[in-house]
Amino acid sequence: MNHSIRKYSSILFLVLSFTLVIQPVSFELNAFVDSDPVADAQMYADRESGGTWFLIGCVGGFIGYIVATAITPTPPATALVGKDAEYVATFTDVYQSEVKSVRTRNALYGCLTGTGATVLLYAVLVAAATSVE
């Protein structure tokens, strides 16, 4: 029970860390007035920390994957300052879609890696126990 609480606390902490650290850190980069909102949103989405979500998938397993699909990414406000209405709408839509895609893909890879490693560990332990007998 304590182990589960610790595990889900870790997932929540990693999600919060991402929100509070990585995203504000990328605040400095803004899209340009005449630039393409789709390209700009993809550029921002490229900065999404895939490693963090891979780790969440590894630690949380399927729950980590569900968390990745359930959380809607918040677009950087900085990217919307000084932009026209059409840009704001397009950027927001594309950013959310791209970031969600990065998160879910990495969480899934993490989930599969974590599960694979666990299965392998059990196989080794079973093999070791069998050889001892």
In angstroms, the CA 95 to CA 56 distance is 21
Please state the closest distance from residue 44 (CB atom) to other proteins, in A: 10
Joined tokens for residue 28: 């400095």
In the bound complex, what is the minimum distance in angstroms from residue 130's beta carbon to other proteins?
37
Q: 61 or 75: whose CB is closer to other proteins?
A: 75
Q: Which is nearer to other proteins, 72 or 131 (CB)?
A: 72
Residue 21 found at the interface with other proteins (CB under 8 A): yes
Return d(Cα 68, Cα 70) in angstroms, integer: 6
Residue 86 amino acid letter? E
Provide the token pair at 10: 């870790």
- Residue 14 within binding range of other proteins, rule CB under 8 A: yes
